[in-house]
Structure 1
Amino acid sequence: MERIRITKEFTFETGHALYGYDGKCRNVHGHSYHLSVTVIGTPIREEGHRKLGMVIDFGDLKAIVKEEIVDPFDHATVFNRNTPHIALATTLEESGHKVILADYQPTSENMVIDFAQKIRARLPENIALHSIRLRETGTAYAEWHAADNP
C-alpha cells in the first residue's frame, strides 16, 4: 500500500531570550514563527469509513498541534529554566503574561526537538511524524526529520 505525506502549516508569535549567548539574541525579543508539520501514513481504504482516502484528517492534526504547541507558545515568552532572567519571568507571570520555562535553550533547533516529541506522543499508531520545519525568520529555519532520528 502506498504511503503518503501530508503537511499542515501553523503560525504563532513567541518571545524568547538566549541565556549565555554572545549576540543580540541574549536580549528578550520575538519572532513570528511558521511551523510546518508533515506526517506519513497510508490513506484509509475501508469502504464506508467516514475518513475514507485520508491519511489523517487535517482537522485532527490541527487539533494536536494547536493543543501541544500553538496554544501554549503563542504570545508566550520562553526562557531557559536556568536563565538569570528568572526574576523577569516571575514578574511577567505575576503581571498576567504567559511564560514558559523550558528545560532547554529556546533556540529553533531545540524547539523542533521538543515539538517533535510532543507531536509524536499524540499521533495515532498508524501515522508517523515525518518532519517538522520551524521558520524563525524569512531566511532562517530549523528542521527535524524522522529519518535523521531513528
Structure 2
Amino acid sequence: MSDATFSIEVVSPERLVYSGRAVSVTAPGTEGYFEFLAGHLPMVAALRAGEMVIRLGGGRTVLMAVEGGFFEVTDNKVIVLVDDAELPEEIDIDRARAAFERARKSLEDLDNHDLDRELARAALARAEARLKVATDPRAKA
C-alpha cells in the first residue's frame, strides 16, 4: 500500500467527528462498500448505515458507525457529511444490542409490503454497524 495520504473530515450536523490525514478509507456506499486512496479522481457518493474504516498508516485505524450521508472527494481531500456518526468509545454496547434486537423483532413482525419494514431495516443496519464498531478489536488499538 502506498504511503501517500489525503486530508479527511467527517462531519455530522452536531459536530466535527474526525479530522486528519489518512492512507485510505472504506465507506458504506448505497451500492456496497468502497475504498478511497490518495490521488483518486473527484467523486461524490451516497452513504448508507454501516462501518467506516479510516486507515492512518502504521497499522492505526479509526473506526466509526455512520448513519448515511455523502462522501465527497476533491483535490485529494475527503469530506464525509453524515446524518450521525459514533466512534467505538461513544457506543454503549448494551444499548446497541437492545436496539439490534428491537429492530430485528420489529422486522420479523412486519408485512413484506409495509412501509415500516424499510424503517425497521434501516434501524437494523444502524444497530448492526454500531455493534460491529463497538466490538471490533481494532477499536482497542
Whether TM-score is above 0.5 comes out as no
Larger radius of gyration: 1
Greater strand fraction, Structure 1 or Structure 2: 2
TM-score in terms of structure 2 length = 0.29
User: Could you say which structure has the greater relative contact order, defined with CA pairs below 8 angstroms and 6 or more residues apart?
Assistant: 1
